[in-house]
Amino acid sequence: MRRSIALSLCCCLAAAASSGLASAQLPNAGFADASRSARLRAAFPTIDSIVRDFTARQHIPGAAWGIIIDGELAHLGVTGYRDVASRSPVDSNTVFRIASMTKSFTAMSILKLRDEGKLSLDDLAERYVPELAGLRYPTTDSPRITIRHLLSHAEGFPEDNPWGDQQLARTDEELSQMMRGGIPFSNAPGIAYEYSNYGFAILGRIVTRVSGMPYKEYVATNILRPLGMRSTTLSPAAVAADRLAHGYRWEDEQWKEEPQLPDGAFGAMGGMLTSLSDLGAYVSALLAAWPPRDGAETGPVRRWSLREMQQVSRPASSSAARDAAGNLRLNTGGYGFGLRVSTDCLFAHIVAHSGGLPGFGSQMRWLPEYGVGIIAFGNRTYTGWGPPIDAAMAALAQTGGLQPRMAEPASALVEARAQVTRLVIDWDDQLARSIAAENLFLDRSIDRRAADIAALRTRMGSCAAGTVFADVENALRGRWILPCERGNLLVSITLAPTMPPKVQFLQVTPAPVSGIVSRLALCSAP
């Protein structure tokens, strides 16, 4: 009896697998434009001009910047001096402080420890940092602070820029004393986003306590070395004098050197120094987590954990501002884990973080769906890289090469396209019922759907089969164009969460004369 059931099940599965509608496994997504890289590279001279003009106008002694394309530091540029007194120029090996960009390394370390089963993101922070056990919470119903709260700036501590910058030299004992002395709350934990350097210093303490080694040793051993980041450190003293960028402020129409802040207990929030090539490797590793796919894990942290870092965990307030081209852009999003995550009119998924300390300012920004990133360092206090990177991204977009990775349709979607195309060209009730999910003809009866499509055929004339998707939103949703005698039809379908996946949404409309309008065109519209 058991054997016959098993055989029946195998036969059913085999039959299902033979049908295209049965398969919904995610195929690998990729870039359709073979000339993409060459197009993007055409923007490099423009970007260089943008950055050099910015550094001149803002009195930045020296700067370095790079463009990452598909895991390669495809372009780097430098200008000015790493040391004004000796007039030593910035080069590709110059090491800059990156301040708060350090937070993503801290978050990555926490996730690695989580993946190894050594902690949970929902563990109470005081489990590993007992100095927090005596905190007086703002309300009697406040939840106690978790690791997840700390990772997403939702622990309720007050925003602490630039106070945090001056805490880098704190010793471990001083940090412990500060925590035992109490921490004021601006919100109850878990309520709101508020940027906290203090919170990430505590995460560094958790890395130390859980791993059994000092934070900077853990990061070096488990993140930096596996990624080949040999020039990256939390100690300015470890950087060769002929490679270290000196930091400056512009005051009284001259550059005044800032002292190098030492490494200490707050290093996990902003103490790191790195070079262009090293940070390029780091951003490349985060970009390489996209898209989700089969295949062996090759990095120090699992791909799904890296993607988790790059998605909103705690929403933040939205903003509207005009970009370098004068277009009004809405920006919304929040904080992931050690990274800012946002969307605007032009790009649906932007990941970034900036860093600022006395003498330094930096930014890294990338587009997961586009495989492209930009990094930049400057040695002037709180160098504001936002506007020139906005302009650089716009320059890349203008080349036409900045197109998102195309989702590939599952075989079920490909087969559904063929069958729906047959219906539009020559409606057949039996075929329609065989591919329809149970809701399709309850939402609109089969007779009315047939009449709607017949009316379109009368209006548009006979139609030919479309051979490719015009747009694939995901593996189970897409649209395509059918060329007809008197215009084109746009057909859109979504498949249902059933096996086999059947058609739950079907829409057939006259196609826009100009075709499917690109996101870039919409955002650039006057």
Run of H or E including 330: strand 328-335
pLDDT at 17: 38
pLDDT, averaged across the chain: 91
391 & 497 share domain:
no
pLDDT at 344: 85
Give per-residue pLDDT as tens, 31-73.
888 899 999 999 999 999 999 999 999 999 999 999 999 999 9
**pTM for this predicted structure:** 0.89
Structure tokens that stand for 291 in this block = 């898209």
Q: In the structure, what pLDDT confidence band is assigned to residue 514 with cuts at 50, 70 and 90?
A: low
Q: Considering 179, 214, 238, which residue would you say is the last residue of a domain?
A: 238
SS (H, E, C) 193-239: CCCCHHHHHHHHHHHHHHHCCCHHHHHHHHHHCCCCCCCCECCHHHC
What is the Cα–Cα distance from 376 to 385, expressed in whole angstroms?
A: 7
435 & 518 share domain:
yes
CATH number at residue 357: 3.40.710.10
34 & 159 share domain:
no
Number of domains in the chain: 3
Average pLDDT of the residues in 189-197 = 97
* pLDDT over 50 (residue 20): no
Lowest-pLDDT range of 164-168, 275-279, 349-353, 462-466: 462-466
Asked if residue 319 belongs to a domain, the reply is no
* pLDDT over 60 (residue 448): yes
* pLDDT over 60 (residue 13): no
Give per-residue pLDDT as tens, 415-445.
999 999 999 999 999 999 999 999 999 999 9
Asked if residue 49 belongs to a domain, the reply is yes
Domain holding 358, by residue range, is: 22-96+275-285+340-406
Report which of 321, 326, 329 is spatially closest to residue 346, judged by C-alpha positions: 329
pLDDT at 112: 98
pLDDT at 159: 97
153 & 197 share domain:
yes
Asked if residue 372 belongs to a domain, the reply is yes
Asked if residue 517 belongs to a domain, the reply is yes
398 & 426 share domain:
no
* Stronger pLDDT, 280 or 15, i.e. the higher one: 280
Q: In the structure, what pLDDT confidence band is assigned to residue 468 with cuts at 50, 70 and 90?
A: confident
71 & 149 share domain:
no
Q: Enumerate the β-bridge partners of residue 343.
A: 332
Q: Considering 368, 387, 406, which residue would you say is the last residue of a domain?
A: 406
* HSE-up of residue 58 (Cα within 13 Å, Cβ side): 25
* pLDDT over 50 (residue 499): yes
457 & 506 share domain:
yes
Report which of 63, 74, 54, 58 is spatially closest to residue 396, judged by C-alpha positions: 74
Asked if residue 310 belongs to a domain, the reply is no
280 & 400 share domain:
yes
CATH number at residue 509: 3.10.450.280
| CA distance to 153, 191, 198, 414, per residue, from 316 (Å) | 10, 11, 19, 39
pLDDT at 327: 66
127 & 211 share domain:
yes
Lowest-pLDDT range of 216-230, 290-304, 511-525: 511-525
51 & 68 share domain:
yes
Report which of 146, 125, 359, 116 is spatially closest to residue 260, judged by C-alpha positions: 359
Asked if residue 114 belongs to a domain, the reply is yes
Asked if residue 308 belongs to a domain, the reply is no
Lowest-pLDDT range of 47-61, 175-189, 328-342, 503-517: 503-517
Q: Enumerate the β-bridge partners of residue 495.
A: 503
68 & 185 share domain:
no
Contacts by residues 76-80 (CB-CB < 8 Å, ≥ 24 positions apart): 76/276, 76/277, 76/280, 77/47, 77/48, 77/51, 77/52, 79/51, 79/52, 79/55, 80/55
What is the Cα–Cα distance from 117 to 114, expressed in whole angstroms?
A: 5
Q: Considering 368, 385, 406, which residue would you say is the last residue of a domain?
A: 406
Give per-residue pLDDT as tens, 74-94.
999 999 999 999 999 999 999
Asked if residue 306 belongs to a domain, the reply is no
136 & 116 share domain:
yes
Q: In the structure, what pLDDT confidence band is assigned to residue 144 with cuts at 50, 70 and 90?
A: very high
* pLDDT over 60 (residue 350): yes
